[in-house]
Structure 1
């Protein structure tokens, strides 16, 4: 990140575009120079570490700790090693060897609401303000969250059409039931909010 927020805010849209392009190019070069590739979602980080073709699991030395990560071949300097930029859930993090040439490391973030700037603290950082998360599908959500999102979408659509929201519909139904159960009461001057 070559700019401060104050400096960036004072730039014109055209200057910001030039600065963003330069920053993206610099970040891409820095990330390409790393001995691994990585990507992240809000909840996890996936790392791919190339190893010599024909490598077997027993040839590897992989250490995953709450705040540290090391991947390498036994008896040699680690390919990557150091302090993780954020804490992870060790019990939910794993590694596998794919096609005898790539060590795939899956790290579960402890804080699932925070983007990582880098994997290891001594490696170049990315600008997390520029991350565009992938769109999630409703089917990806758990039942409770999906229900909440569908309710919010319905209520938003109803408001746009000038119709009552789901909560307002429930209130009206409850009032109708109460009126039906108590026809002796006069609701003509009642204010319902």
Structure 2
């Protein structure tokens, strides 16, 4: 059995179904590679935080109005940092309030197909992430990316890469320390 590429019509139908499933959810959600943000609109305007039941655990989320069935109640597909995850009740322009939940992912290298595991999935292979800023990267990764970018610019300009430059600097220093040696036929690889 061979896997064949879906036709444009099949692809469009799958996207439309996915969008309809997401719009049917009682909440909206977005994500970056590092976090998930969920909004629940239409909370009565006179409600305060104490009127809500929000429980954020490492792999479970329950959220809704006290005394009613939760709007969200399920297992998260991946673990989160509970101490860095928050929720807030904010006024909306129409006089209601919106519950905003921020979940900080532990694994910042994977996309979530859904907020809770019993919700409809999205196709994470279709996510086109916004360009990351170097400042968003940890120090080691940032250094590696900056080195790669430098080496790419050097190569395009016909100049030596950082590693080649380092070898040439070592050879030059060695030559200065040993002027009695002849390096005229030396080859650097």
CA distance in structure 1 between the partners assigned to 2:138 and 2:119 by the alignment: 35
Structure 2: which 5+ runs fail to align?
none
Which position in structure 2 is the counterpart of 1:151?
147
Q: Secondary structure at the match of 1:180?
A: helix
CA distance in structure 2 between the partners assigned to 1:19 and 1:93 by the alignment: 38
CA RMSD of aligned residues (A): 1.9
Q: Secondary structure at the match of 2:82?
A: strand
Note if 1:137 corresponds to 2:133.
yes
CA distance in structure 1 between the partners assigned to 2:77 and 2:139 by the alignment: 32
Which position in structure 2 is the counterpart of 1:90?
82
TM-score, length of structure 2 as denominator length: 0.88
Which position in structure 1 is the counterpart of 2:13?
22
Which position in structure 1 is the counterpart of 2:62?
70
Which position in structure 1 is the counterpart of 2:169?
173
TM-score, length of structure 1 as denominator length: 0.87
Change (3 A) 1:111 1:144: closer
Question: Runs of at least 4 residues of structure 1 off by over 4 A?
Answer: none
Note if 1:48 corresponds to 2:44.
no
Note if 1:124 corresponds to 2:116.
no
Deviation of the 1:53 alpha carbon: 2.5
Note if 1:102 corresponds to 2:82.
no
Please, which moves more after superposition, 29-38 or 99-108? 99-108
Please, which moves more after superposition, 31-40 or 70-79? 70-79
Query: Per-residue displacement from partner, 1:65-99 (whole Å, max 9, x unpaired)?
Result: 11111111111111111111222121221111111
Count residues with an aligned counterpart.
Answer: 184
Note if 1:79 corresponds to 2:68.
no
Q: Secondary structure at the match of 1:113?
A: coil
CA distance in structure 1 between the partners assigned to 2:101 and 2:123 by the alignment: 22
